[in-house]
Structure 1
Amino acid sequence: MRLKLFRAGTMFEGLAQVRAELGPDALILSHRSVGDLVEITAALEPNDEPAVPDAALLAALDYHGVPASLRTALQAGPLDAALARTMTFAPLPLSTGGSPLVLTGPPGAGKTLTVARIATRLVMSGVKPLIVTSDGKRAGATEQLAAFTRVLGLTLLAASHPVAVARALARRADGEPVLIDAPGCDPFEAEQIEELTGLVASANATLVLVLPAGLDPGEAAELGSAFAAAGAGLMVPTRLDLVRRLGGVLAAAAAGRLALTEAGVGPGAADGLEPLTPAGLAARMLAPRGKSS
């Protein structure tokens, strides 16, 4: 039997350490408070000890720049199963009658195109959503979205502040899905975060982070945490077709405890978005170098 002692600030953090290092089958033998810390003794039966990580898997984790905080859990492999255990995956809540979705993210993340892609999917399935743009700051933002909504035969409402958003939602038909394109946001600027949270509150909405892949993992983790603190619980990474390293995607989602939903995988509005799954993400990460799919 393999024994190990873990110390953490809380029981929750300690159990997370146990799962990350010993896996879900670890046995908790004892726990006690030691000053301000919690001390946990855990064990693995010999037959349950993790196998030596596969060399190809370790190479992939290195190549993608996966943060050290995730490596131990993911290198236990197989990668698809490890991703399913470590990360959260969920569909976008697009059912009729659900709360509006506010898409946020740093400037240039691809929010407007993501709104257009989701709207296109809904229309192709026979559902017409209400589209609201609150991005009155970026030149041409409304016109860009209007070009899509005209083709799709959808209503586009412009509402640059929370009161206007509330008025726009008063025009919502019964059961009509609502997509709100928020302005680009710097989550480290208090004034911009205040505007974003005010928008979400006025719409009683679900906040979705749109974040481009290819970011430095440390930077991505800070962005994920900051937007999660503002209320985001879901994430749509974009540009997976243009980057080769996905460590930033994992870092942001893990740091903010964000559920991975869909991913931007191409330039088209009709086919540029696909659901993210552990198997699909693992396939991208293990693909031959120079290919992401």
Structure 2
Amino acid sequence: MRLRVFHAANMAEAMRLVRAELGDDAVILSSRAVGSGVEVTAGLDAGDEPMLIPPDPHAAGIAALAGAPALRHGPHPALMRHNLPAALLNRLHGSLPEALAATIPFAPLPDAGGRVLALIGPPGAGKTLTCAKLATRLVLSGRAPSVVTADAARAGAAEQLAAFTRVLGVTLAVAANPAQVARALSRREAGQPAILDTAGCDPFDRAQVEALLLTLRAAEAVPVLVLPAGLDVSEATELARAYAALGARAMIPTRLDQARRLGSVLAAAEAGPLALCEAGIGPGAADGLIPLTPDWLAARLCPPEPAKDVAA
């Protein structure tokens, strides 16, 4: 594989350099902000050399689950540590990926179909970082999005998102009320994707709920819940139902690289019901979201046991 490192003032310029040097078949391996702008590492398969792809940290778990005999008389023992509700735990019998697919909804990230994708959720859930990750993905695919934040009141919220959009070469609109949200989104080009980062909302506070609904209606948005892993299971279940009542039909769980117990994620998805679509797995804007599938989640729930040293 031919590898090249590109430096540019912003991500859009870096992508132009990558395509000019390596063509449309180039693979973006990493990107990061540097003092003068951005640094992008890209590669091109030379044809006669194997393409080196970083290993999936859960690939061993997926392979182990695929080759293991199905458990037919009860849930997988490793699930006990995830604090799943008893009723849900008792339905996860047999092949774990198949049981998850039959019990928990999974779906790709909703296609807004020309509408706005709005990220909603409680304060501190990771909405702003998730917005940056989605914007980065779109820029890397050649579709620069319109990005609007309605989280104008929280100190530092707009500045955090602006730091990402500046590197991407994308304009960020900061809207303090629903009318400003609608005005900012009306300026986007026909067919241009749009992402709305909303303020953290307590779904049990009437005033906050009404403010969020006004924002979603002004944006004509498709809401997606962003919820961190590691919450109390009952708390996550109540939150999922409350946000589903506000129109959410899909969920992006975050912090899956840090949380050791994922019972709250499964319980929330089942309770909504909310389709699991992407997993937030790290702080990087370029590679911190991955499609959430039954196979991946099964391996994350029940990783293979490490090999034990055998004394000679």
Aligned counterparts of 1:289 and 1:160: Cα–Cα separation in 2: 50
Deviations 1:22-70 (A, max 9, x none): xxxxxxxxxxxxxxxxxxxxxxxxxxxx93126xx1x222111111231
Deviates more, 1:110-119 or 1:193-202: 193-202
TM-superposed deviation, 1:289: 7.3
Per the alignment, residue 259 of structure 1 pairs with 275
| Residues 1:92 and 2:113 aligned together | no
Query: In the alignment, is the contact (CA less than 8 A) between 1:134 and 1:159 conserved in 2?
Result: yes
Q: Which aligned pairs between 1:47-86 and structure 2 lie closer than 5 A?
A: 51-53=72-74, 57=76, 59-74=77-92, 76-86=93-103
Query: In the alignment, is the contact (CA less than 8 A) between 2:74 and 2:90 conserved in 1?
Result: no
Per the alignment, residue 198 of structure 1 pairs with 214
Q: Percent identical across equivalent pairs?
A: 60
| Residues 1:161 and 2:177 aligned together | yes
Per the alignment, residue 152 of structure 1 pairs with 168
Which amino acid is the alignment partner of residue 51 of structure 1?
R
Aligned counterparts of 1:177 and 1:212: Cα–Cα separation in 2: 25
Structure 1 portions without partners, runs of 5+:
1-49
SS at match of 1:53: strand
Which amino acid is the alignment partner of residue 212 of structure 1?
P
Aligned counterparts of 1:289 and 1:200: Cα–Cα separation in 2: 45
Query: In the alignment, is the contact (CA less than 8 A) between 1:94 and 1:177 conserved in 2?
Result: no
Greater than 4 Å deviation, 4+ residue runs: none
Which amino acid is the alignment partner of residue 285 of structure 2?
A
Deviates more, 1:159-168 or 1:178-187: 159-168
Structure 2 portions without partners, runs of 5+:
1-70, 307-312
Per the alignment, residue 185 of structure 1 pairs with 201
Which amino acid is the alignment partner of residue 82 of structure 1?
A
| Residues 1:208 and 2:249 aligned together | no
Deviations 1:254-293 (A, max 9, x none): 1110010101111211011111000000000011579xxx
- TM-score of the superposed pair, with normalisation by structure 1: 0.78
Query: In the alignment, is the contact (CA less than 8 A) between 1:253 and 1:260 conserved in 2?
Result: yes
Query: In the alignment, is the contact (CA less than 8 A) between 1:187 and 1:223 conserved in 2?
Result: yes
Aligned counterparts of 2:194 and 2:267: Cα–Cα separation in 1: 29
Aligned counterparts of 1:259 and 1:244: Cα–Cα separation in 2: 21
Query: In the alignment, is the contact (CA less than 8 A) between 2:150 and 2:176 conserved in 1?
Result: yes
SS at match of 2:252: strand
Query: In the alignment, is the contact (CA less than 8 A) between 2:252 and 2:280 conserved in 1?
Result: yes
Taking only aligned residues, the RMSD between alpha carbons, in angstroms, comes to 1.5
TM-superposed deviation, 1:172: 1.3
**How many residue pairs align between the two structures?**
236
Query: In the alignment, is the contact (CA less than 8 A) between 1:187 and 1:193 conserved in 2?
Result: yes
- TM-score of the superposed pair, with normalisation by structure 2: 0.73
